[in-house]
């Protein structure tokens, strides 16, 4: 029987609701014991949501087969959930096994390192960090403390199709996999420019790390690395653009990219192009992940195998090879697959790593940060020099405060 992981949620803004529901949905494996936010109204709202969510689940489960779950949800009313405004205090005073970070990117590293040093497992929102240096500090702090680090993009890999594609690619059935391409565009989907109600930090690179690549590209980069068997980036070349209409007219600082194109070479010889925008005037372009192998390809989730044959002349001499791509059903493994919260909870209770762990998050962050550094320098950068130069990407702007 696995241990019920005691969770403290840090950050109670917009995305925290999914953390509350994510853990309440696994009553046998998780118990939310504390919530923390510097803003009182936010922490109170999520606190009330944990208690009401547990109560309504308990009520609904009474009638059904989930009687054991009902009892666990009902316990919330007696045990309560503690409220904190300072996560260091929460780490000191609260009996926790893990923290769940629903914080803006600029707080991911300090909160992860503090939690790891306090011996707590960490589930962190995406993007894992603003810079590769921060991501490496987070990974190293968790490894040194012997705690697990998961970050939110795991949801892009935890399904039978992703598992089957990765298996196909890494087992060699697709032949030599030499190249991949990822395209992902929104027409108008810039937080706080075209879509409102997001945190002030989204458009300010010092706090967010970057724009579209850190917000939306991060998911598909994560999935593409998973599908390719987690290759290590070696060099990165990127361009970035901001200037789409309508212009941003708000008063906050907006210095993040709206489009990015990136070319990555991996140490194993594969390469990949990533094209991502959260405001693009592009229609009719196929979007998704495309993987090129010597024996076939994946066009999104469809497998195509090359089944050509030779034309011969009357004497049986080979004349011309007629290549032919045949869509081929992909054998899917039996489920069920865990969701990203359950994947993290299972890792806390075992020797396994979460699917999107610190090592994967570090590679994704190297690509994102490397792309924007390369765009700034106007040349390709190696991952080695990224760690020396990425401080050039942005300097904090004095006097700009996040509420
Ligand atoms: N909003 C979304 O749709 C969405 C979706 C998926 C992932 N995410 C990711 O989730 C993370 C959070 O995003 P959000 O939209 O919820 O942001 P948000 O600004 O709505 O919420 C962040 C919360 O963190 C709190 N906070 C900031 N510093 C703190 C500190 N030192 N200690 C305690 N609390 C602190 C803020 O007061 C705020 O309540 C980001 O990394 C984001 O990329 C957001």
10 CA → ligand 1 middle, Å: 9
Give the tens place of pLDDT for each residue, 126-175.
999 999 999 999 999 999 999 999 999 989 999 999 999 999 999 999 99
15 CA → ligand 1 middle, Å: 6
* Residues 154/223, Cβ–Cβ less than 8 Å: no
- Distances in Å between the Cα of 28 and the Cα atoms of 17, 22, 159, 303, 326 are 20, 12, 22, 38, 45
Q: Buried b vs exposed e over 14-37: b needs ≥16 C-beta within 10 Å?
A: ebbebbbebbbebbebbbbbbbbb
What is this structure's pTM?
Answer: 0.96
Helical H segments across 11-95, by residue range: 16-24, 40-62, 67-79, 87-93
- Distances in Å between the Cα of 3 and the Cα atoms of 59, 166, 251, 328, 356 are 24, 30, 48, 42, 21
- Distances in Å between the Cα of 42 and the Cα atoms of 17, 63, 124, 365 are 11, 33, 18, 29
Cα-to-chain-centroid distance, residue 24: 21
pLDDT the model gives residue 13: 97
Ligand 1 pocket check for 103: Cβ under 6 Å = yes
Closest C-alpha to 365, from 105, 128, 122: 128
176 CA → ligand 1 middle, Å: 41
Tokens 């803004």, residue located: 13
Give the residue, by CA position, lying nearest to ligand 1 atom 5.
15
Ligand 1 pocket check for 10: Cβ under 6 Å = yes
For residue 201, the ligand 1 atom closest to its alpha carbon is 19
Tell me the two tokens of residue 133: 């240096």
Give the residue, by CA position, lying nearest to ligand 1 atom 6.
15
* Ligand 1 binding pocket mutation candidate from 10, 11, 123, 211 (most atoms within 8 A of CB): 11
Q: What average pLDDT score do residues 216-240 get?
A: 97
Asked: is 160-336+362-393 a CATH 3.60.20.10 domain? The reply is no
* Ligand 1 binding pocket mutation candidate from 9, 18, 37, 356 (most atoms within 8 A of CB): 37
Cα distance between residue 403 and residue 391, in whole Å: 25
Give the tens place of pLDDT for each residue, 345-362.
999 999 999 999 999 999
Ligand 1 pocket check for 11: Cβ under 6 Å = yes
Decide which of 1.10.580.10, 1.10.375.10, 3.30.1180.20, 3.40.50.720 is the CATH code for 5-152+341-357: 3.40.50.720
pLDDT the model gives residue 403: 42
Q: What average pLDDT score do residues 180-186 get?
A: 96
Per domain, the residue ranges of the chain are 5-152+341-357, 160-336+362-393
174 CA → ligand 1 middle, Å: 40
233-241 vs 381-382, strand pairing mode:
antiparallel
Ligand 1 pocket check for 14: Cβ under 6 Å = yes
Give the tens place of pLDDT for each residue, 198-219.
998 999 999 999 999 999 999 9
344 CA → ligand 1 middle, Å: 19
* Residues 96/72, Cβ–Cβ less than 8 Å: no
Q: How many CB atoms lie within 10 A of CB 311?
A: 11
18 CA → ligand 1 middle, Å: 12
Tell me the two tokens of residue 48: 């009330």
Looking at the chain, the whole-number percentage of residues with pLDDT higher than 90 is: 89
CA-CA-CA-CA dihedral for 109, 115, 120, 121, to nearest 10: -10
5-10 vs 30-36, strand pairing mode:
parallel
* Ligand 1 binding pocket mutation candidate from 8, 12, 14 (most atoms within 8 A of CB): 14
Q: Is 241's pLDDT higher than 60?
A: yes
Cα distance between residue 28 and residue 36, in whole Å: 23
Separation of first and last alpha carbons in the chain: 43
């Amino acid at each position: 029987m696995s241990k019920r992981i005691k969770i403290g949620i840090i950050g109670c803004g917009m995305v925290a609701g999914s953390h509350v529901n994510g853990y309440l949905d696994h009553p046998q494996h998780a118990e939310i014991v504390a919530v923390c936010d510097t803003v009182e109204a936010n922490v109170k709202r999520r606190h009330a949501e944990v208690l009401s969510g547990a109560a309504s689940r308990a009520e609904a489960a009474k009638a059904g087969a989930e009687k054991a779950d009902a009892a666990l949800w009902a316990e919330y009313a007696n045990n309560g959930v503690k409220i904190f405004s300072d996560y260091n205090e929460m780490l000191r005073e609260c009996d926790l096994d893990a923290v769940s970070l629903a914080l803006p990117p600029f707080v991911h590293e300090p909160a992860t390192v503090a939690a790891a040093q306090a011996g707590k497992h960490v589930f962190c929102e995406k993007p894992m960090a603003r810079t590769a240096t921060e991501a490496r500090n987070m990974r190293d702090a968790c490894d040194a403390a012997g705690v697990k680090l998961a970050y939110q993009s795991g949801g892009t890999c935890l399904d039978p199709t992703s598992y089957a594609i990765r298996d196909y690619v890494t087992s060699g059935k697709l032949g030599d996999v030499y190249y991949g391409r990822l395209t992902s565009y929104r027409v108008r989907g810039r937080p706080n420019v075209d879509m409102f109600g997001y945190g002030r930090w989204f458009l300010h690179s010092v706090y967010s790390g970057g724009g579209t690549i850190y917000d939306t590209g991060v998911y598909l980069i994560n999935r593409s690395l998973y599908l390719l068997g987690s290759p290590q980036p070696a060099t990165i070349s990127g361009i970035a653009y901001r200037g789409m209409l309508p212009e941003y007219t708000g008063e906050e600082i907006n210095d993040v990219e709206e489009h990015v194109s990136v070319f990555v070479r991996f140490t194993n010889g594969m390469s990949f192009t990533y094209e991502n925008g959260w405001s693009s005037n592009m229609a009719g372009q196929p979007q998704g992940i495309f993987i090129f192998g010597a024996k076939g390809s994946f066009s999104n989730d469809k497998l195509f195998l090359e089944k050509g044959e030779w034309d011969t002349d009357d004497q049986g001499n080979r004349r011309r090879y007629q290549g032919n791509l045949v869509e081929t059903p992909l054998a899917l493994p039996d489920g069920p697959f865990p969701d990203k919260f359950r994947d993290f909870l299972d890792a806390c209770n075992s020797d396994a790593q979460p699917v999107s762990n610190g090592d994967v998050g570090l590679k994704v962050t190297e690509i994102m940060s490397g792309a924007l550094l390369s765009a700034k320098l106007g040349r390709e950068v190696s991952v080695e020099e990224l760690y020396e130069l990425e401080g050039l990407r942005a300097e904090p702007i004095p006097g700009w405060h996040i509420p």
